[in-house]
Structure 1
């Protein structure tokens, strides 16, 4: 597939609490053909750890 599925953009930033749900969302993006773009960004909102992970489609991440 040369373009992301379902009209998704070639560059995405996934964000959320650092929990199993966030890990599943990143894993689903990788399984769909996205690649990690650099490492994650992590912060603390006073209650929980929040993570942001950029992903890019296919060969754009190389």
Structure 2
């Protein structure tokens, strides 16, 4: 089964660490990163989709994706 997550956050080192941690945990980058200005907070925000192939099992929408 292929699972999908979208990581987002302020454009800072914490976001880079979040993506790096996902990669270390077996997730793979999916598509290009996004980058946009948040007019409310007046800060730049980043986003990156990641996917991971896990053993086939029933999908449970209540289960955290990081628990697969």
TM-score (norm 1): 0.74
Runs of 4+ in structure 1 off by over 2 angstroms are: none
Query: Is it true that 1:15 corresponds to 2:5 in the alignment?
Result: no
> Deviation of residue 54 (structure 1)?
0.2
Gaps of 5+ in 1: 4-8
* Distance in 2 (alpha carbons) for counterparts of 1:10 and 1:33: 11
Larger Rg: 2
Give the RMSD, CA atoms, in angstroms. Answer: 2.1
Query: Is it true that 1:53 corresponds to 2:20 in the alignment?
Result: no
TM-score (norm 2): 0.68
Between structures 1 and 2, the one with greater helix share: 1
